[in-house]
Amino acid sequence: MTTSLARGQNTLAGVPVEADRHRAPGLLDGALNTELTPEGCDLGYWFRAVPDGTLGGDAMGRSPDVTVPDHMLRHGPLRQAVMQELAFRSMAEEKAARAISHLVACAPDLAGMDFFTTQLMDEARHAYAFRGHLLELGTPGDRLEAVMEELAGPDRDAILTPLEEFGLDVLRDGRDYIGGVVTLTVLVEGVLAPTAELSERKWLPFDPAAAQIERAAGIDEIRHLSVGTTIVRRHLRRHPEELDRIRELVASGTELWSRLPVQELTFRREQLYQQGLEQHRDLAGDYEVWPGRRLADTTAEERMLTAAAWARTTQQARLAEMGLA
Ligand code: FE
Ligand code: FE
């Protein structure tokens, strides 16, 4: 038997199910039900799973049969909405990649260092793929940075920069590895993941290329959430005396989140999308954005509240699995 088969039953031709673009679960489902370890997700795993299995050989996770539809290339709320969203997401991923470099630097063991090296690559790739879609949508390469700044600069300053400062305080200044993993897994990814899931679902009928990029990134996020959780859980089992300190960190991070204008941004984003949805209702057809709910019947507020409810569920599940509930 090959090593990959010996490692678990969930492998086929070397690509683990949870990383296979055709067979992986959705992001939220996967994040709740997949248990992965840093040793299992080592460099060998990453090379076997990601370039072929998740990405199908394309750095953006795109396949040639899916193209950018004409209606996305024309000026209008739909195009504006996807561009704002992806510019912001690209900035968030860039900040995540840079912050993770500190986790690589202070990882106490090789399994952790190797894993975060792969996560750093994943996040840098997400930033690349999201801004790559802006190019696919017709942004000239030499204007990309300026266009992104116009689309999402103020939101980055209002939301991402304070979060980054919080993270760097823990990671770079405190060299606090576990605190950094908690910040990343619970406060950043655990809260952003549900927005990503909604994004993939809501763009599918209008911009299948964007949905494909989101899907590949979402598969990576399952691994990030799951391995991050394992690292924290193990640490707290070995060091129960750390529980109070980590709880306090989560509380102060949550308090920071509650002060950031995240709901305002999401609502603005969904309102713009709503205008596009109304213009192109025919394209949505009977497509269900989540089981039993036609996208065409949803409202901006409903989508925002649903993503917020998903965020709470994911975050609570993360905390419980870490032993922090
Ligand atoms: Fe990411
Ligand atoms: Fe991630």
Instruction: State in Å: Cα 64 to ligand 1 middle.
Output: 23
Ligand nearest to the CA of 94: 1
Kindly give the distance from the C-alpha atom of residue 228 to the centroid of ligand 2, in angstroms, as a whole number. Answer: 10
Query: Which two structure tokens, joined as six digits, stand for 63?
Result: 């396949």
Q: How far is the CA of 119 from the centre of ligand 2 (A)?
A: 7
Expressed in angstroms and rounded, the spacing between residue 314 Cα and the centre of ligand 2 is: 14
Does residue 48 lie in a domain region?
Answer: no
Residue 117, CB-side half-sphere exposure with 13 Å CA sphere: 14
User: How many domains, in total, are found in the chain?
Assistant: 1
- Where helices occur in 34-187 by DSSP H, the ranges are 43-48, 70-73, 77-106, 110-136, 144-155, 161-168, 177-182
User: For residue range 90-138, what is the model confidence (pLDDT) as tens digits?
Assistant: 999 999 999 999 999 999 999 999 999 999 999 999 999 999 999 999 9
Q: How many angstroms separate the alpha carbon of residue 150 from the centre of ligand 2?
A: 25
Distance of CA 224 from the midpoint of ligand 2 (Å): 5
User: What integer pLDDT is reported at residue 5 of this predicted model?
Assistant: 38
Number of helices (H) and strands (E) in the chain: give both, helices first.
15, 4
- Kind and range of the H or E run holding 289: strand 288-290
User: 224 in a domain, yes or no?
Assistant: yes
Task: Calculate how far, in angstroms, residue 122's C-alpha sits from the geometric centre of ligand 2.
Answer: 7
Ligand found nearest the CA of 119: 2
Q: What is the pLDDT of residue 9?
A: 43
19 belongs to a structural domain: no
Written as six digits, the tokens of 25 are 């679960």
Distance 189 CA to ligand 2 centre (A): 6
Span from the CA of 183 to the centroid of ligand 2 (angstroms): 12
Domain assignment present for residue 103? The answer is yes
Determine the distance separating the centroid of ligand 1 and the alpha carbon of 295, expressed in angstroms: 25
Residue 87 and residue 124 in contact, taking contact as beta carbons nearer than 8 Å: no
In a domain, 40, yes or no: no
In this structure, is residue 22 part of a structural domain?
no
* Per-chain residues with Cβ under 5 A from ion ligand 2: 221, 224
Cα(276) to ligand 1 centroid in Å equals: 26
CB-based contact 222:25 (threshold 8 Å)? yes
Distance separating alpha carbons of residues 219 and 24, to the nearest angstrom = 7
- Are the C-beta atoms of residues 219 and 18 closer than 8 Å to each other? yes
- Which bound ligand lies closest to the C-alpha atom of 216? 1
DSSP for residue 109? S
Task: Please give the residue range of the domain that contains residue 277.
Answer: 68-322
Q: What is the CATH number of the domain that holds 299?
A: 1.10.620.20
Residue 14 lies in a domain: no
84 part of a folded domain? yes
| 82-94 per-residue burial string, b: 16 or more CB within 10 A, e: under 16 | bbbbbbbbbbbbb
| Stated pTM of the model | 0.93
Kindly identify the ligand whose nearest atom is closest to the C-alpha of 224.
2
**What is the residue-level pLDDT of the chain in tens, covering all 325 positions?**
333 333 444 444 589 999 999 999 988 888 888 899 999 999 999 999 999 999 999 999 999 999 999 999 999 999 999 999 999 999 999 999 999 999 999 999 999 999 999 999 999 999 999 999 999 999 999 999 999 999 999 999 999 999 999 999 999 999 999 999 999 998 888 777 778 899 999 999 999 999 999 999 999 999 999 999 999 999 999 999 999 999 999 999 999 999 999 889 999 999 999 999 999 999 999 999 999 999 999 999 999 999 989 988 888 888 999 999 8
